[in-house]
Amino acid sequence: MELLTVAEMASADQAAMAGGTSGFALMRSAGQAVALAAEAMAERGRILVVAGRGNNGGDGFIAAAELAARGRDVSVILLCDRASLRGDAAFAAEEWNGAVLPCDPQAIGKPNLIIDALFGAGLNRPVKGDPHAMIAAMNASGVPILSVDLPSGINGDTGEVMGIAVEASATVTFFRRKPGHLLLPGRVHCGEVDVADIGIDADVLDRIAPKTFENVPDLWADGFPFPQADGHKYARGHAVVVSGDVVSTGAARLAARAALRAGAGLVTVASPRDALAVNAAALTSVMVRETETPKQFGELLADKRLKACVIGPGAGVGERTREIVHAALSAHRGVVLDADALTSFAGAPETLFAAIKKQNDPQVILTPHDGEFGRLFSALRSDNPHGSKLEHARLAAVRSGAVVLLKGADTVVAAPDGRAAITANAPPWLATAGSGDVLAGIIGGLLAQGVPAFEAACIGAWMHGEAGQEFGPGLIAEDLPEMLPAVLRNLYDEIGIAY
């Protein structure tokens, strides 16, 4: 589940070499892993290796030699003069006894498979000249491509396309994945990613102490709120969701039902007077409480059994919502701020951040989509216009004092202490009206059960993606809460919990 930056992966390599494994031994293992993957992708026919001048190209030479030794028809195109290779890459090229073709896109021809070994994950400058032409020709060939470590042209830390990038069918990476394997657009360039063991001991992670992870159950399973046999509804937590006026009630109801399905023992919709009848008529297991003013909302939170608040879905933009947020923060509850709650502070975000930071160990989660993030953190984006989604989410968490869940197909969850997780299970049909309201409700239901903010945001994003996968095409937001029982059953099975 750990994701290593390019620098952290270099540290892992150095630690392995300090422990007695040579750099060339690591390269040999990497090349052998690439050869195995290549044989699985192309059982017959010619295989072309397109190699660069660095260690990525060295991996490609080892793979070429391995495949040739197994009787495969292999060709190699090299980006530079063979005599200019240095270090382990030069040693790897000595393993290859065949011809080396010049760097000419016309030399690609029509192989059965191309192995892309041009650049590694550390590329941090735009691709130009011969490499650009070669990548364009590889993509245009229509031939399946297996990339070594990361598709050439993708930045390993950010997932950014550096001018042009290989469109791989599959990727073999080593020891651990990088953020660029999961962040868009890098993820769509990778195809299926296989992580190969090349002899680096997992103990090196203790020294590296990575803070970026894929959002999967291994990250948070130990803290998942499994109901206890002697529990009761209040032990499972009571969540409150703030409704807007009579014409804006649906979003709050979506969030409330999601919170209940996510495991909260009770859920109440705090409703303005004019929306009471609409909300009461549409809700059954979710309770409704008249809450016309922020003062009434503060009085509602005097009940200590209310553990978490969801504010924003359909709440309305303006002073009332801002005051309700301040009331929730003053009551020191778990708080999810979404949609209108975020936009309500767009003109004065520092007042929100100051209120969050006043709390001791705030359990506050902000869940913006890209547009809401831009409104709330416009200064951050101005200061860091070229930052990645991961970097922006981390900076926003520090600036706000809250856990920030920056939504999208590659949702990033970041905590003020530097931890971050990238979610990769969201299907495209989650992009539908009301989907974010359901996500906010799921997270609120988890907060109500006592799950800490970072873990609640991670679990909520993962469950949201799984629910979308469970339903499939044709999904609308109302379907998502009804998929959560199946998601929970599958999770229980995976973890080994009887139900």
**Separation CA 195–CA 87 (nearest Å):** 25
In this structure, the answer to whether residues 144 and 238 fall within a common structural domain is no
Decide: residue 232, CB within 10 A, 0-12 exposed, 13-18 middle, 19+ buried. Answer: exposed
pLDDT of residue 42: 95
Question: Which residue ranges are tagged as binding site for AMP?
Answer: 407-411, 436
Query: What's the average pLDDT block by block, 10 residues per block, for the chain (499 residues)?
Result: 96 94 95 97 96 94 96 94 88 90 91 96 90 96 97 96 97 97 97 96 95 97 86 88 95 98 97 96 95 95 95 96 97 96 96 95 96 95 90 98 98 98 97 97 98 98 98 98 97 85
Question: Which residue ranges are tagged as binding site for K(+)?
Answer: 56, 116, 152
pLDDT of residue 351: 97
Question: Which residue ranges are tagged as binding site?
Answer: 55-59, 116, 120-126, 149, 152, 251, 314, 369, 407-411, 436-437
In this structure, the answer to whether residues 376 and 427 fall within a common structural domain is yes
Which residue, 193, 210, 227, sits at the end of a domain?
Answer: 210
Contacts (Cβ under 8 Å, ≥6 apart) of 153: 119, 123, 127, 135, 161, 162, 163, 164, 165, 166, 189
Which residue, 177, 210, 243, sits at the end of a domain?
Answer: 210
Is 197 within the bounds of a domain? yes
**Separation CA 122–CA 154 (nearest Å):** 9
In this structure, the answer to whether residues 40 and 107 fall within a common structural domain is yes
CATH number of the domain within which 170 lies: 3.40.50.10260
Is 32 within the bounds of a domain? yes
In this structure, the answer to whether residues 337 and 378 fall within a common structural domain is yes
CATH number of the domain within which 243 lies: 3.40.1190.20
In this structure, the answer to whether residues 369 and 413 fall within a common structural domain is yes
Strand 403-406 relative to strand 100-101: parallel, antiparallel, unpaired? Answer: unpaired
Is 380 within the bounds of a domain? yes
* pLDDT tens track for 220-274: 999 999 888 778 888 889 999 999 999 999 999 999 999 999 999 999 999 999 9
Is 1 within the bounds of a domain? no
In this structure, the answer to whether residues 285 and 229 fall within a common structural domain is yes
Is 295 within the bounds of a domain? yes
Which residue, 185, 210, 235, sits at the end of a domain?
Answer: 210
DSSP three-state, residue 363: coil
Is 448 within the bounds of a domain? yes
In this structure, the answer to whether residues 221 and 197 fall within a common structural domain is no
pLDDT of residue 280: 95
pLDDT of residue 84: 86
In this structure, the answer to whether residues 92 and 141 fall within a common structural domain is yes
Half-sphere exposure of 36 (CA within 13 A, CB side): 13
Tokens of 95: 């393993």
**Separation CA 291–CA 239 (nearest Å):** 15
Domain that holds residue 318: 217-495
In this structure, the answer to whether residues 186 and 280 fall within a common structural domain is no
pLDDT of residue 130: 93
In this structure, the answer to whether residues 188 and 270 fall within a common structural domain is no
> What does pTM read for this prediction?
0.94
Q: Determine if the peptide bond prior to 313 is cis (ω within 30°).
A: no
In this structure, the answer to whether residues 108 and 159 fall within a common structural domain is yes
Sign of CA dihedral 291, 406, 440, 374: positive
Question: Which residue ranges are tagged as binding site for (6S)-NADPHX?
Answer: 55-59, 120-126, 149, 251, 314, 369, 437
pLDDT of residue 306: 95
Please give the tally of structural domains in the chain.
Answer: 2
In this structure, the answer to whether residues 295 and 205 fall within a common structural domain is no
Is 103 within the bounds of a domain? yes
